Chain A
């Protein structure tokens, strides 16, 4: 359990963050400049809070009231930086062993061999950091941090400088970090990464924690996203792979409230999958449409109309079974269809838009070595 309660003024910017992170991945989510990196820097001891308290598993790392402020090297908090920060003059092996040597022998919970196996580092050991690809560098950086046997792990946008293919390659390894059983703080502004990796989410905006809790719950709370926000409005659905229709090129996903059809995905049946449905990919009809190319037609009730400010579009919230789905439509359409709360409607979702990028395995349920 990682407990963070910190305040810090940086020029005109003020950070005031308070949250807890249990074992497993907790995402610190928010746009760039929201203060996420400053928060993890305070946890690691690289930035000193003006006031507050930081503790992990009962070990107090910082407590302004008690006058405790452990230096970074006594905190035993692993840190994977955005740019890796491997030591360029040391081989991969010696980079990995750097922190291992400093960890008290009795508290080491990972051997070199285990770390190498966990992150597939065997072929890299004799290489030097400048010759590694971006993805390899981050794998080594994760191994190096883990081998210092930290009580908690911080990852600051470890995928930010990687291209799409490399992200794909490295995500499964990050999922494996879950096995360590320590709290992991994962800083990101990518919804995709967060929905795939995190169990819990701490939403950071302008230096403050605006919400925290389970990923699905938080992502579905509409009021958290303003239209000007770079983050898109949408719905996070937790589903389960029901069956595949290879001929039709379709995978059927079950969720509480119905069934979703998505392009054929190479995911075993029964595996839990989160689907991010962008509000702008959802349309609405007042009666069941015929002769339609759209594969997903879900019957539900219109609960609420609103949001979007004075702009031409507005948001609808639809109740489908146990699930609330968000749709983005024009105000003109609301008028023409005479939409009103309580009305029975059909939600139309284009399945082609629910491509691989919108799907993410739920890490905890999929386990390591998932086919993604």
Chain B
């Protein structure tokens, strides 16, 4: 009962790979978005904020459908990407990465933004008077000080990507070995008579991986916070 079938192992590996790529690709963008939201004031900031948070409240099926319209082979951007770069997302595992990243994005941005806002911007001016240009000051002072938030964002993003279902199944379908992640495999198992033991096994795996990730995030966050802030008042 507890040994995994090759298909299940494949689904597990695929899930981890997709979640890892989604986090790796989404994180720099999330940091950039969080920085803009935390430090800049511009016309339309609220609109951008709402836009970035949309995947959080939109039904995942709708997000997946929008991705299909946008990035599908005949989609607005998708067609152009295929012609210019030969890049195809639809029904590929890379498409699953995009779906997971889009859905996880707001979860990554939020903690990063909060911790960026907590960093005293006057420390950056101090760094600039010492010879660091704007970017270096940000990179060597503000970013390390917001590392706890970045880590929390990364792990939240990773776990959210791991469990992604709706947008993925709509955008890239449920193809074993290509786009069938753990959650899609659970769904598939439940569609077949006698598939419940398999579904249960996969569910246990998902629960364990998620708990491990969340506990790790909490511990890491605390460790980094201790190292960077040390005390309540920085």
Footprint of B on A, CB under 8 Å? 44-46, 71-73, 75-79, 81, 83, 85, 87-89, 98-99, 101-103, 128-131, 144-145, 148
Contacts and interface: CB of A to CB of B under 8 A. Distances in A.
Contact of A128 (B130, B133, B140, B230): B230
Chain B interface residue bracket vs A: 20 to 34
Interface of A is mostly: mixed
A46 B128 contact: yes
Interface in B144-191: 144-145
Contacts of B228: 88-89
A81 B126 contact: yes
A88 B131 contact: no
Interface string B205-234: 000000000000000000000011111011
A78 B227 CA distance: 27
A98 B130 contact: yes
Contacts of A71: 128, 133-134
A89 B146 CA distance: 10
A87 B123 contact: yes
A296 B132 CA distance: 56
A144 B130 CA distance: 8
Query: Of A72, A83, A89, A99, which is in contact with the most chain B CB atoms at under 10 Å from its CB?
Result: A89
Contacts of B144: 89
A145 B130 contact: yes
B146 to A, nearest CB: 10
Contacts of B120: 85
B132 A88 contact: no
Query: 9 closest Cβ contacts across the A-B interface?
Result: A102-B131, A99-B130, A130-B230, A85-B126, A89-B228, A72-B128, A79-B129, A130-B231, A88-B234
Nearest to B120: A85
B141 interface: yes
Contacts, number: 75
Contact of B230 (A45, A73, A78, A88): A88
Contacts of A98: 127, 130, 132, 140
Nearest to A149: B131
Given A81-B126, A85-B123, A89-B145, A76 B230 contact: no
Contacts of B145: 88-89
B127 A78 contact: no
A83 B129 CA distance: 15
Interface of B is mostly: helix
Contacts of A144: 130
18 contacts: A45-B129, A71-B133, A72-B129, A73-B129, A76-B131, A79-B129, A81-B126, A83-B122, A85-B122, A87-B123, A87-B141, A89-B141, A102-B132, A128-B230, A130-B230, A130-B231, A130-B233, A145-B129
A66 to B, nearest CB: 22
A323 B75 CA distance: 90
Given A87-B141, A88-B228, A73 B234 contact: no
A43 to B, nearest CB: 10
B125 interface: yes
Contacts of A81: 122, 126
B81 to A, nearest CB: 39
B92 to A, nearest CB: 41
Nearest to A101: B131
Given A71-B134, A98-B130, A130-B234, 14 more contacts: A44-B129, A71-B128, A72-B125, A73-B129, A73-B132, A87-B126, A88-B228, A99-B130, A99-B131, A101-B131, A102-B132, A145-B129, A148-B130, A148-B131
